[in-house]
Amino acid sequence: MVPKKRIKLSHFDNSDLIAGYSKTLIGRCLNPRVQDMKTLLYMLRRIWQIEGKVAGAMVSLVRWSPSLNPNYPSDLTFWIRVLGVPIEFWADQTFREIGAALGSVQAVDVDAGRLRVTVDGFKPLSFETEIEYSNGEETTMFFAV
């Protein structure tokens, strides 16, 4: 087996390149076998009322930023309602711990029993889970988007 060649790039000022892409949106098709990207791109052009060519496959849509991560962008952020939390556990800490097990917690709305979380779009979504409390009791909780 031939070893891979390692190439190290020298530092250069790429601030003009970064500034040139600062208003660009970039996306990733997270389920290409099911999603019709041609239709999506056609509809986005009509919805946004832009002329010219729209290129790309967009589902996880973010403002472009410099990234070397090959999975960029794969993060999905949305609100999740947590069902089945006993009233005596309705606290910011409870919802944050549940959210942290799912992804990165962005916000918590205790009054509505929901949290905004960012998850990896390449991992399967879970809509129910078993929760174990500090006293050892367990219960099933459900997530609604």
Q: How many CB atoms lie within 10 A of CB 117?
A: 24
The pLDDT of residue 57 is 38
| Residue 40 resides in a domain | yes
| Residue 1 resides in a domain | no
Does one domain contain both 54 and 86?
Answer: no
Does one domain contain both 53 and 109?
Answer: no
| Residue 32 resides in a domain | yes
- Tens of pLDDT along 105-125? 999 998 899 999 998 887 887
- Smallest CA-to-CA distance from 30 within 99, 121, 118 is with 121
The pLDDT of residue 112 is 92
Does one domain contain both 116 and 79?
Answer: yes
Tokens 């250069």 correspond to what residue?
Answer: 12
Q: Taking every pair of C-alpha atoms in the chain, what is the biggest distance, in angstroms?
A: 62
- Tens of pLDDT along 70-93? 777 778 888 999 998 887 888 888
Looking at residue 31, its amino acid is N
Number of domains forming the structure of the chain:
2
| Residue 92 resides in a domain | yes
- Tens of pLDDT along 28-69? 666 667 777 777 777 777 777 776 665 553 555 666 777 777
Domain of 34?
A: 15-63
Residue 29 burial by Cβ neighbours in a 10 Å radius (0-12, 13-18, 19+): middle
Does one domain contain both 57 and 88?
Answer: no
Cβ atoms 56, 38 nearer than 8 A: no
| Residue 4 resides in a domain | no
Does one domain contain both 47 and 92?
Answer: no
Return the percentage of the chain with pLDDT > 90, whole number: 11
| Residue 8 resides in a domain | no
